[in-house]
Amino acid sequence: MNTNFKALIALAILNEVLGSGLEDENPALFQTQDAGKNWGAAGSSESASAGVEGSTNYKSLVKIIGFPFRLFMRYIRGSYKNDPFRTFLELCLVVFFVWYVSRQKYKMNQNDIKLTEKEIDELVQEWKPEPLVPGLSKTERLILDSIPVIDGQNGVEVRLKNGDMVDNFSNYDYLGFMSNNEKAREKAVKTLRNYGVGACGPPGFYGTLDVHMELEKKVAEFMGAEAAIIYSQGMATGLSVIPCFSKRDGVIVADSGVNFVLQQGIQLSRSKVFWYKHNDMEDLENVLTTTNKYISKIKGPTPKKFIVTEGLFTDTGSIVNLPKILELKKKYKYRLILDDSAGIGALGARGAGVLDYYYGEKEGNGKDGVAEATKEVEILLGSLWQAFGGSGGFCCAAKELIGHQRLSGLGYVFSASMPAIMAVTASDAISRLAERDGDGRLALRKLNENISYMRQLLEEINNNNNKSINGYASEEKRLRNKDSNVSSISSVSTNNDNFTDRDSGIIEIEGDDNSPIIHVHLTPNCMRQAVQKLGGNGGINSTQQFWTRQDEELVMMQLASEIQTTYKVLVCSSLYVVEREKEPAPEPSLRIIVSAGHSKHQIIKCVEAIENSINKLINNY
Partner 1 sequence: MFAHIRDRFGKIFYPEEYTSLKEVDGYAPLITDFESLWNRRLYTRISDAFNRPITGVAGGSVALLERESKDYNRTFRLTGGKKTVLNLASYNYLGFAQSEGYCADTVEDSLRTNGIGMSMPRNQGGQTKKQIEVEKMVARYLGVDDAVVVSMGYATNSTVIPLLTSKGTLIISDELNHSSLVSGARMSGATIAVFKHGDTKDLEAVLRRRISQGQPRTHRPWRNILVVVEGLYSMEGEFCDLVEIVRLKKQYKFNIYLDEAHSIGAIGKTGRGVCEYFGVDFKDVDILMGTFTKSFGAVGGYIAGRKDIIEHMRLSCYSNMYTECMPYPVLAQVESSLQLMMDEVPDWVGDGPARIRQLAENSEYFFHRLIELGFLVLGSPGSPVVPLLLFNPGKIPAFSRMILERNIAVVVVSYPATPIIAARVRFCISASHSREDLDYALEQIDEVGDLLNLKLAKK
Distance of alpha carbon 562 from alpha carbon 550, whole angstroms: 18
On the 0-12 / 13-18 / 19+ scale of CB atoms within 10 A, 299 is exposed
Closest CB to partner 1 among 378 and 611? 378
Shortest distance (Å) from residue 184 CB to partner 1 = 6
Residue 188, H or E segment: helix 182-195
Residue type, 492: V
Q: How many CB atoms lie within 10 A of CB 479?
A: 15
**Closest distance to partner 1 from the beta carbon of 454 (Å):** 17
Give the start-end residues of each E strand in 84-173. Answer: 157-159, 165-168
3-state secondary structure 10-23: HHHHHHHHHHHHHH
Picking from 154, 191, 193, the residue whose alpha carbon sits closest to that of residue 428 is: 191
CB-nearer residue toward partner 1: 47 or 259 = 259
Provide the minimum distance between the beta carbon of 119 and partner 1 in the complex, in angstroms, as a whole number.
7
Give min distance, CB of 391 to partner 1, in A: 5
Task: Give the nearest distance from C-beta 82 to partner 1 in angstroms.
Answer: 31
Decide whether 19 or 196 has the Cβ nearer to partner 1: 196
Nearest distance, CB of residue 46 and partner 1, angstroms: 35
Query: Least distance to partner 1 from the beta carbon of 351, Å?
Result: 15
Cβ pair 244, 410 in contact under 8 A:
yes
User: What torsion, rounded to 10 degrees, do the Cα atoms 430, 187, 150, 141 define?
Assistant: -60
Smaller CB separation from partner 1, 268 or 281:
268
Q: How many residues does the structure list for the chain?
A: 621
The nearest distance, CB 307 to partner 1, in angstroms, is: 12
Q: Cis peptide before 584, with omega less than 30 degrees from 0?
A: yes
Closer residue to partner 1 in complex, CB, 320/337: 337
Angle between helices 420-434 and 182-195 (to 10 degrees): 140
Q: Which is nearer to partner 1, 268 or 457 (CB)?
A: 268
219/261 with CB nearer partner 1: 261
Whichever of 225 and 618 has its CB closer to partner 1, that residue is: 225
Q: Which lies closer to partner 1 via its Cβ, residue 404 or residue 549?
A: 404
DSSP for 1-12, written as a single string = -HHHHHHHHHHH
Cβ(608)–Cβ(567) under 8 Å?
A: yes
Residue 202: how many other CB atoms lie within 10 Å: 17
Beta strand segments in 419-539, E: 507-510, 517-522
3 state DSSP class of 258: coil
Q: Which is nearer to partner 1, 224 or 243 (CB)?
A: 243
User: Please, what is the minimum distance in Å from the beta carbon of residue 268 to partner 1?
Assistant: 6
The minimum distance between CB 356 and partner 1, in angstroms, equals 20
Angstrom distance (rounded) from CA 291 to CA 252: 9
Q: What DSSP designation does 256 have? A: T
